[in-house]
Structures are given as structure tokens and as C-alpha cells.
Structure 1
Amino acid sequence: MRLLVLLAVLGGALPVVADADILVATRSVRGQTILGPGDVAVVAGEAVGTLVAPEEAIGQEARVNLYAGRPIRIGDVGPPAIIERNQIVTLRYQSRGLSIAADARALDRAGVGDALRVMNLASRNTVTGFVAPDGSVVVGASLKP
């Protein structure tokens, strides 16, 4: 039996877990806070789905509360929000030379490139689009700005 386990490990059938560096919060950070160099540290450890380099988190916004000493997961941080909930934004549809713009109300907070649900103020219909760098929300054929 020991021979079978050894062969399985050497043959690559079983995953071998190696120690790696992970990124942890150095202090408790509230959600919606922009992370700075003093907020994160690299420590030895292993965890799947976590950030590994400070550059991945510095300048990003905490999407959830981060706690001191706990690993920072990939979904815990993201681009800083440029649109706040209930903010009036420009809703744009563009396709083959056709461009339509309307006012809409943001139904959540979002940063550049994030998917965002908005309500068209004229029709009261709710649609999902992507936040463009200029703060507008793009929907339709060219989904990503």
C-alpha cells in the first residue's frame, strides 16, 4: 500500500501542497477603504484563491471588511468605486454607428470595468452594463468599454 501511495505522489496523481507566500491584512480595514502599503504584508503560508503580492492590493478598494492577520482573497479587493449607489449616470448603447444615451440611476457601487445594474429613468427598465472610465455605463453589442 505504501508503494502505491509513493508511486501516486511521484507520478503526479496526488497534488503536492507547497508552502507559498500569501498576502494578509496588517490591521482591520473597513470595506470601501483604499488599501495602502501599510495595510498589507506578505507572510509564509498556503491558501487557495488569495493574493500573493502587495502590488495586487495596494491602491485597490476593500470590498469587504479585512481582518488583521487573515489572508486577502481575490474577491476581497477591486478597483475603487467611481459610481455610488443612487447616483445618476449616463447609460450608453453603441452598435455599428448607432449611439443612444439616456439618464439612469445606479443600483449599486461600482468601479471601472465592473458590471452594474442601472434603472433607465425614462422607461423604468433595469439593465446591466459595464462601467466605462468616464463614469458612464455601457450596454448592448459592445458590452465592455
Structure 2
Amino acid sequence: MKLVLTFLMVLMAQSGWADTLVPVRTIRAKQIIHAEDLAYKSVDIAGAFSDPAELIGQEARVSLYAGRPIRPGDVGPPAIVERNDLVVLKFRRGGLLISTEGRSLGRGSEGDIIRAMNLSSRSTLSGRIGADGSIEVR
């Protein structure tokens, strides 16, 4: 498949066609995009992806249908926290760090803000997901 993508890239570059990446099959939401899932289509659509490196390894946020362009809002980094996961809730203020156990009420990737429940107090709060999967609350 990589040979086909390379051939298409060279052919399109020589002919001056606009190239847009499209899925070759339906990719369901929450699935990771692989190189063999992508092909070029000779249409120019504003905002659509044209570089496979920007898509490979990303997670589909919505269903992506074969032959339709992929837009930036349709994909994102893979989720590291799933709904109902047990997570560490962290509160930082100056040199103080308080950690407790919580349960995520949503799913997301690093940097996303999601809601979580403190298992000790049963209160819900919002926080930002860290690289280690913990949630930093304010």
C-alpha cells in the first residue's frame, strides 16, 4: 500500500492535481488511523488533510466514510482515559500536592478537560488530563 501511496504522490505532483487524503474504508469513531486506511483523491477541499503524517496514529472522533475528505475536527490524539476508569485526582497549589482516587465521567486525551468524581466525597469536578492519565483539578 505504501508503494501505491508513493506512486500516487509522484503522479499528482507531476500533473499539478490537488490531493486530499480520504479513507479507503469506513473508520468508526475511537479507531486509530493507519497508513493502509488512507489514499489520495484528486480534489482540493479547504481544510482537508493532504499529509499522511498528520493522520497516522490519530484517533477518529467521528465515523470517517470511504472517499470523503478528513477534516481537522474529525480526528485527534488517542484517548488515554476512558469513561469509568479509576484515575488519580491531583490538586496543586504552590508546594502543596493533594492526591486522591477518582472515577472519570468522560473520555479524553492529554490536555482535554473532563469531569470526574472524587470517590471519597462523591463530589464531581472538572480537570485537565495529564500525560500519565491523572486528572489535575483546580
TM-score, length basis structure 2: 0.79
Give the alignment of 1:70-109 within 5 angstroms.
70-109=68-107
Bigger-Rg structure (1/2): 1
Alignment check: 8 A CA contact 1:21 1:46 kept: yes
Q: Which has the higher strand share?
A: 1
**CA–CA separation in structure 2 for the residues paired with 1:106 and 1:27:** 32
Render the CA deviation track for 1:55-89: whole Å, top value 9, x for unaligned. Answer: 11100111111100111111211111111111110
Which residue identity does 1:71 align to in structure 2? P
Q: Deviations over 1:92-144 (max 9, x none)?
A: 1112111111111111121222221111112222222111111101122xxxx
1:107 and 1:117 in contact (8 A); partners too:
yes
**4+ aligned runs moved over 3 Å, structure 1:** none
Partner residue of 2:55 out of 54, 57, 60: 57
Return the alpha-carbon distance in structure 2 between the equivalents of residues 21 and 125 of structure 1. 50
**Distance in structure 2 (CA, Å) of the matches to 1:79 and 1:34:** 9
| Closer/same/farther in 2, CA of residues 27 and 121 from structure 1, 3 Å limit | same
Give the 3 Å change call, closer, same or farther, for CA 100–35 of structure 1 in structure 2: same
Structure 2 residues without counterparts, runs of 5 or longer: 1-16
AA paired with 2:60? A
Give ranges in structure 1 of 5+ residues lacking alignment.
1-18, 141-145
* Equivalences for residues 1-145 of structure 1 within 5 A: 20-140=18-138
- In the comparison of the two structures, how many residue pairs are matched? 122
Letter in 1 for 2:123: N
Q: Distance in 1 between matches of 2:50 and 2:123?
A: 41
Distance change in 2, residues 1:20/1:94 (3 Å): farther
Report the Cα distance in structure 2 between the residues aligned to 1:103 and 1:136, rounded to whole angstroms: 10
User: What is the TM-score with the length of structure 1 in the denominator?
Assistant: 0.76
